[in-house]
């Protein structure tokens, strides 16, 4: 059986993240180190980004479909020693990921109804440490045929 619509959307989202590399005119190569739902990294593995699919809520719509809304987050970890401020570094990298995702088709080829940026949270290192992080969050809405998570409902 093919992947669910949810999984297909996540795979396309991950593919966009992997495009955040210098060869595509970005200022970072973090796209070479993209993972799914990984929470722990060793210092030598950084920089890295991980795609975390979060909770989903669903309801039956007027067309007999299941309207689903899932949370997705990108967690970015960077181990950086620089003269720039941590804020400047994280804001730049978050901007690059946002640009890549938000310039993409928000329906991921008709799989989703919409993709919406919902915010980001920077995490700065404690004294003596140099790992900085950010979590970027999105809400992705999509509709499947009622009781069939493998088929998109096209009203």
- Judge: domain 5-144, CATH 3.40.190.150: no
130 Cβ neighbours under 8 A, 6+ residues apart: 79, 80, 81
Task: Give the model confidence (pLDDT) of 21-71 as tens digits.
Answer: 999 999 999 999 999 999 899 988 999 999 999 999 999 988 789 999 999
pLDDT at 150: 96
Which residue bears the tokens 């992705």?
A: 140
Q: Does residue 125 register a pLDDT over 90? A: no
69 Cβ neighbours under 8 A, 6+ residues apart: 56, 57, 58, 139, 140, 141
Ramachandran assignment for 44, one of left (phi > 0), alpha (psi -120 to 50 degrees), beta (any other): alpha
pLDDT at 82: 67
């Amino acid at each position: 059986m093919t992947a669910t619509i949810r999984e297909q959307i996540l795979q396309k989202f991950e593919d966009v993240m992997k495009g955040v590399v210098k060869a595509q005119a970005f200022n970072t190569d973090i796209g070479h180190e993209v993972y799914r739902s990984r929470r722990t990294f060793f210092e030598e593995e950084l920089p890295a980004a991980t795609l975390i699919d979060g909770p989903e809520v669903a309801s039956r719509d007027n067309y007999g479909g299941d309207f689903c809304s899932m949370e997705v987050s990108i967690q970015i970890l960077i181990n950086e020693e620089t003269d720039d401020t941590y804020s400047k570094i994280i804001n730049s990298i978050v901007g690059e990921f946002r640009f890549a995702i938000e310039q993409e088709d928000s329906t991921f080829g008709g799989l989703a109804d919409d993709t919406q940026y919902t915010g980001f949270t920077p995490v700065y290192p404690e004294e003596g440490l140099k790992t900085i992080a950010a979590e970027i969050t999105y809400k992705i809405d999509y509709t499947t045929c009622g009781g069939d998570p493998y088929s998109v409902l096209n009203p």
